[in-house]
Amino acid sequence: MVNLINSLLYLASSEEDALRSNKVSLRKIAMDLVKSHLAPGRMVVLEDGLPVIAAGDSGKIETAVSNLIDNSVKYTREGGKITIRVGKTDCYGTVEVTDDGIGIPPEDLPHVFERFYRSDKARSRSTGGAGIGLSIVKSVVEAHGGRVEAESTPNVRTTFRIYLPLASTAG
């Protein structure tokens, strides 16, 4: 099992140069994922914003953002709201996924990116999952030269934010 997961994480990464040769619209990825996550009793909203073009592998970035949305869906009660924001800083494009679900206690937050780590085992068991989604997210963004952050106030607001290097505007 551990070997299998290590191979998956390796596939999620791969060479940075090769990864960063393509231009990827983060807004387009977010729009597509909002559509594919629509379901009755669930509110998934993409906030307005400008197009943001990152350098990377669109399939892998889509996998990363999709994992964040899947978590928000899984850890938010029915009728909850999930908000996606696409933006940028000086050098990075950002995708932020916020939910108003159960959240993550402060003592668990530093560990959620570890392989197989799941907050509150008893509760988590009923939602299923292996605890690898966020390791894949971390592996993908770091392979792109980016990073991922998390903030949570349990039962109020939980935000995961990924940073991906912007594509150069030249050429």
Ligand X SMILES: Nc1ncnc2c1ncn2[C@@H]1O[C@H](COP(=O)(O)OP(=O)(O)OP(=O)(O)O)[C@@H](O)[C@H]1O
For the CB of residue 70, give the shortest distance to ligand X in the complex, in Å.
Answer: 7
CB nearer to Mg ion: pick between 12 and 52: 12
- For the beta carbon of residue 11, count every other beta carbon within 10 angstroms: 12
Is residue 84 involved in binding ligand X (CB under 6 A)?
no
In angstroms, rounded to a whole number, what is the distance separating the alpha carbons of residues 171 and 1? 44
For the CB of residue 138, give the shortest distance to ligand X in the complex, in Å.
Answer: 9
Compose the 82-111 pattern: x for residues touching Mg ion by CB under 5 A, - for all others: ------------------------------
CA-wise closest residue to 145 among 13, 52, 10, 7: 13
Is residue 139 involved in binding Mg ion (CB under 5 A)?
no
Q: Which of 30, 69, 84, 134 binds ligand X (CB under 6 A)?
A: 134
Instruction: Decide if 67 contacts 130 (C-beta within 8 A).
Output: no
Is residue 92 involved in binding ligand X (CB under 6 A)?
no
For the CB of residue 33, give the shortest distance to ligand X in the complex, in Å.
Answer: 15
User: Which one-letter DSSP state was computed for residue 110?
Assistant: G
In angstroms, rounded to a whole number, what is the distance separating the alpha carbons of residues 164 and 147? 7
- Range 109-138, binding Mg ion (CB under 5 A): 133
Ramachandran quadrant class, 84 (left: phi over 0; alpha: psi -120 to 50; beta: rest): beta
Is residue 71 involved in binding Mg ion (CB under 5 A)?
yes
In angstroms, rounded to a whole number, what is the distance separating the alpha carbons of residues 119 and 158? 14
Is residue 129 involved in binding ligand X (CB under 6 A)?
yes
Is residue 104 involved in binding ligand X (CB under 6 A)?
yes
Is residue 93 involved in binding ligand X (CB under 6 A)?
no
CA-wise closest residue to 44 among 74, 99, 83: 83
Position of tokens 């003592």? 107
Binding residues for Mg ion, per CB under 5 A? 71, 133
Binding residues for ligand X, per CB under 6 A? 67, 71-72, 75, 99, 101-104, 112, 117-119, 124, 129-135, 158
